[in-house]
């Protein structure tokens, strides 16, 4: 491989720990606001995370449980759209109140990439407004070269469309970039686009099959905070001590 010139981050579970106490909570608040008695517990939401995209997740759940079957297809589409809009408002409220912390090492690694003049992008199936709320809030010191979010692509991960679009947008070759993901769907999407992948696990993805990833860590790590544990990859070549730095990434994937 050649020199790394771009680094692409997934958002949910990578940049910010959003799923368990963010998106799940916002979905449940929305169901309650619309007068529905159902809610998603931690285990059920884990299973639903295998479905990429919030609107798609709701539709799958309603169909699987036989809920709202009295609605026509058009009525179901309209309801899901309304509910997803309100869910986004609830989720952004959690972000703006800073109830959802950044994952260890993410901001630090982005700063290191900035200092090395590496293109930084966000590639997420999450709503664009929530992605920009994070970018303009907790990541306001970081210059993001692009954000690809929401319905910018028609096919969600594990389809590689969003990463192929990132390559097209930057003009970079796959071997000149690296992706930070957290889930099997994300890893498969990046690998299908020919990109090397580092996976950082969380409560929902720590038991997923991430064998296709080039490196698997519990987190990126911070010098004065939580340290990461290397779960998969060449420890000797990486020389990992609990904190993953940009120069280590560049050396690892250039070897």
Side-by-side strand order, sheet with 177-181: 146-148, 119-123, 6-9, 177-181, 197-200, 215-217, 230-232
Contact 179, 195 (CB under 8 A): yes
Active-site pick, 12, 17, 182, 222: 12
Q: How far, rounded to the nearest angstrom, does the alpha carbon of residue 181 sit from its chain's CA centroid?
A: 6
The backbone region for 95, taken as left when phi is positive above 0, alpha when psi lies in -120 to 50, beta otherwise, is alpha
Q: Hey, how many other C-beta atoms are within 10 angstroms of the C-beta on 102? A: 18
Examine the residue annotation and report whether 182 is marked as an active-site residue of this protein: no
Active-site pick, 10, 17, 214, 222: 10
Rounded CA separation 228/106 (Å): 12
Examine the residue annotation and report whether 74 is marked as an active-site residue of this protein: no
Q: Which residues participate in catalysis according to the annotation?
A: 10, 12
């Amino acid at each position: 491989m050649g020199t790394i010139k771009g680094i692409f981050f997934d958002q949910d579970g990578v940049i910010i720990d959003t799923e368990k106490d963010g998106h799940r909570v916002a979905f449940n608040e929305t169901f309650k606001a619309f007068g529905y008695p159902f809610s998603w517990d931690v285990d059920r939401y884990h299973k639903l995370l295998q479905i990429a995209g919030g609107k798609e997740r709701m539709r799958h759940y309603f169909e699987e449980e036989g809920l709202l079957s009295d609605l026509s297809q058009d009525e179901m589409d309209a309801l899901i759209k309304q509910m997803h809009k309100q869910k986004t408002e609830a989720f952004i409220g959690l972000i703006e109140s800073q109830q959802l912390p950044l994952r260890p090492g993410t901001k630090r690694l982005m700063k290191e990439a900035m200092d090395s003049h590496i293109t930084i992008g966000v590639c997420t199936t999450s709503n664009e407004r929530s992605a920009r709320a994070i970018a303009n809030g907790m990541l306001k010191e970081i210059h993001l070269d692009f954000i690809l979010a929401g319905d910018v692509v028609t096919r969600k991960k594990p389809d590689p469309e969003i990463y192929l679009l990132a390559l097209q947008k930057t003009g970079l070759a796959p071997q000149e970039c690296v992706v930070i993901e957290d889930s099997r769907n994300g890893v498969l999407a990046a690998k299908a686009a020919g990109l090397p992948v580092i996976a950082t696990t969380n409560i929902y993805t720590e038991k997923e099959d991430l064998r296709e990833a080039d490196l698997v860590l519990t987190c990126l790590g911070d010098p004065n905070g939580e340290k990461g544990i290397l779960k998969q990859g060449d420890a000797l070549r990486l020389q990992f001590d609990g904190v993953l730095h940009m120069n280590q990434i560049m050396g690892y994937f250039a070897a």
